């Protein structure tokens, strides 16, 4: 079984606000770094877009780029959520690579 590249955690407060944390295993190369052995520039490889869905409805889009660090941790807050709501996160990068993850608010995952 392949290792998960995208992980989601949620944290909900008593007022119904949920913070969604998304951790992605990704190199996030800027295209400016030199390979220490060859002195050639390492090609850019970065997440361009991350989309958040709540119960199948798009609620947020993050446009990322080269200024984001390796293995980024992105979070957003949503109001008026409840236990059992479904959160799905999708992302794509500049090389066409994609991944997604899904969880239910109130579950550990």
pLDDT in tens, 72-101: 999 999 998 999 999 999 999 999 999 999
Q: What is the pLDDT along the chain (109 residues), one digit of tens a residue?
A: 456 799 999 999 888 899 999 999 999 999 999 999 999 999 999 999 999 999 999 999 999 999 999 999 999 999 989 999 999 999 999 999 999 999 999 865 4
At 101, list the tokens.
């993850």
Number of folded domains that form the chain: 1
Can you point out the beta strands (E) in the chain?
6-12, 18-24, 47-54, 57-63, 73-78, 86-93, 98-104
Q: Answer whether residue 109 is part of any domain.
A: no
> What is the span of the domain harbouring residue 55?
6-104
Q: Answer whether residue 29 is part of any domain.
A: yes
Residue 2: DSSP 8-state: P
Q: CA–CA separation, 46 vs 78, rounded Å?
A: 26
């Amino acid at each position: 079984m392949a290792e998960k590249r995208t992980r989601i955690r949620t944290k909900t407060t008593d007022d119904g606000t949920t913070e969604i944390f998304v951790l992605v295993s990704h190199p996030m190369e800027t295209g400016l770094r030199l390979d220490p052995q060859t002195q050639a520039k390492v090609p850019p490889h970065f997440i361009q877009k991350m989309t958040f869905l709540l119960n199948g409805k798009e609620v947020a889009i993050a446009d990322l780029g080269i200024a984001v660090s390796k293995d980024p941790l992105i979070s957003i807050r949503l109001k008026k959520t409840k236990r059992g709501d479904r959160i799905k996160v999708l992302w794509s990068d500049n090389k066409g690579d994609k991944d997604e993850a899904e969880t239910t608010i109130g579950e550990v995952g």
